[in-house]
Amino acid sequence: MMLSTGLGFLSLLYVLVLVTTAVLVIWALVLTIMLLRSVLAERAARGPAGWPPPL
């Protein structure tokens, strides 16, 4: 009886770790995409390299 309870706890812990890891990976991807969009928008606002900044 105790063995099945231990296995249930371990499987719950395993699923919890997998879900937490998936959420952290998705969060990191979202933050990376937001950062890239911000950098690209900043570059576009400055204009092409070698040209004076827009007035």
| pLDDT tens-place string over residues 4-53 | 677 888 999 999 999 999 999 999 999 999 999 999 998 888 877 766 66
d(CA 46, CA 39): 11
- Please indicate, yes or no, if residue 22 is contained in any of the structural domains: yes
How many domains is the chain built from? 1
Output the six-digit token pair for 27: 């969060």
* Rounded Cα gap, residues 55 and 27, in angstroms: 37
Q: Quick one: which of 34, 50, 30, 31 has its CA closest to 42? A: 34
| Predicted pLDDT at 44 | 84
pTM of the model: 0.67
Whether 54 is covered by a domain: the verdict is no
Confidence of residue 2 (pLDDT cuts 50, 70, 90): low
Measure the CA–CA gap between 45 and 49, rounded to whole angstroms.
Answer: 11
The pLDDT value given to residue 54? 62
Specify the 3-state DSSP secondary structure of 24: helix
* 52, part of any domain: no
Q: What's the confidence (pLDDT) of residue 52?
A: 66
Q: Judge whether 23 lies within some domain.
A: yes
